[in-house]
Structure 1
């Protein structure tokens, strides 16, 4: 390798491996049947800067990649030639691809996700998804339920209902650091997420959850009607000092600190930690509503990448500490014939 490796994609059936590098090139290798030899095939001039993500589509013979040159590129593996490029306003950080519909999902450092329809030599923007307050660090596409999951540096995960065209449907907050890897297990309706501080969360998605409300805008507290500090007119008329604005995470109303003195977890809305709620919403939350809908585990190393072998219930994590760990996940994600897992 002429440059440090930054991304990799392996296609098991064809035994092709694609390695992205810091200099923007992608090198293709073919692995021998006995897995004892890697034969170099060709180099693709994919990007002008670090390759951040790669995927390979055998049906169309495309290698698709994103990079820190703010673009997605797709190239023909037969000829090695560039088919198309599309540029973004920020570094493209992660990629998912639907092979059947040729839809690509690209997360970037601005916190935006772009949905593209790729054609042979062109592409069209279908929509952009905005909901994160930090850069997109991980994506997972489930083609069966047509759900997209995104993890970000704002410590949160969002589930987007792409098939139902509903946009953001769930906000999940259970990590203390940026979410760097996610995997949705369609068979058991569980989401596994890993963060930079080593936190591993297994979310139960096989229940009816509530969507977190959009935050409402108001010039005064929607409970006591006291003006916020930018509401000069009402402050003058009422001869009162303006208050700082907060938002109740359960109802979304704009409230002052005096009307939102309580904190509570509310797992059915994705809040596994205690968050600010208005006093009336706090009274409406029962003890059973605070029961966690996720399990949390300590990875004890910085997790930058994760891969699941769903058929065996195994998970591999690696991090900036140069440690690779293999986890038996069957105790937390099931190990019966019904779920498709077999005990080792």
Structure 2
């Protein structure tokens, strides 16, 4: 590999980011440089003269950043699991909205400006697809990693999402399918199938002279059920569950073979990935791992 000499252009003094810069993003169309720091600050500079144009304090230190040129929206993911959308102007910004669906920190963000969909990956092993442009408030969960998600990229021409994780997995998701939202988990003091009391329901245990059971939830209907009434497992790919999850017995019988058809393919990178970059023109994927190895992948056989 030959490294050619390049011209030094300039530098930016991050007066706000005392805790260290976590993410940097160059917006060529606006001549802006966006940056975030461990001190919970988000700043943007003019790339021509290095002048700081504005700053915003986030709820937690930021670990993911994306920008939409058309709307001038900055998508900021932080360590509390929250995603914040900011509207940037030349010298000020305004809060658009915040939303939270992860139980741990956001590790990666990916924005599709065509479908106007935001993808967020997290240390909780999950990916969430947020329908920003549809204005329906829908969020679809994708479960295909056994460890934290470290990188996301989107191939708009094939409508496929590529995710990489600490588990070494490279997952190719088919997003050109009609997905279903996962249900809210319901609260109950007894099994909603057999009505046996759960272990904290002392009154019903005393009245019925029965030992309380542990509570579980069916991933398809969201009902609170006991272990006996949810003894089966199934994949539900259209809900994002590519691995087998707990479902109640009645839902297990209603899931068809067509509904169990996978919507993702899984590939082993053979190293724990900490960073990835996708080049859509050639279909090349670059990954770096904790083993200090950089790998270049030809993704054209699977992203097509």
Q: Normalising by the residue count of structure 1, what TM-score does the alignment of the two structures yield? A: 0.83
Q: Deviations over 1:249-281 (max 9, x none)?
A: 011111111111111111121111110000100
The 8 Å contact of residues 138 and 179 in structure 1, kept in 2 or not, is answered as yes
The worse-fitting range, judged by mean Cα deviation, of 79-88 and 311-320 is 79-88
Counting only pairs closer than 5 Å after superposition, residues 204-283 of structure 1 correspond to structure 2 as 204-283=174-253
Give SS of 2:178's match: coil
Contact 2:10 2:50 in 1 (8 A): no
Whether the aligned pair in 2 keeps the contact of 1:131 and 1:168 (CA below 8 Å) is no
The within-5 A match list for 1:297-312 is: 297-312=267-282
The aligned runs of 1:40-55 (5 Å cut-off) are 40-46=9-15, 47-55=17-25
Residue of structure 2 equivalent to 1:91: 61
Pick aligned residue for 1:285 from 243, 248, 255: 255
Shift of 1:40: 4.2
Question: Which secondary structure does the structure 1 equivalent of 2:8 belong to?
Answer: strand
Pick 1 or 2: higher relative contact order, CA cutoff 8 A, min separation 6. 2
- Unaligned 5+ runs, structure 1: 1-33, 335-344
Report 1:112-261 matches (<5 A): 112-261=82-231
Measured against aligned partners, the alpha-carbon deviations of 1:161-200 in whole angstroms (never above 9, x if no partner) come to: 0011233421111111111001111110111100012100
In 2, the alpha carbon distance for the partners of 1:58 and 1:174 equals 34
C-alpha distance in structure 2 between counterparts of 1:79 and 1:39, whole Å: 13
How many aligned positions are there?
301
Q: Which moved more, 1:126-135 or 1:273-282?
A: 126-135
1:75 aligns with 2:45: yes
Residues 191 and 198 in structure 2, CA contact (< 8 A), matched pair in contact too: yes
Distance 2:94 2:111 in 1: 19
Displacement of 1:109: 1.0
> What do you get for the CA RMSD once the two structures are aligned?
1.7
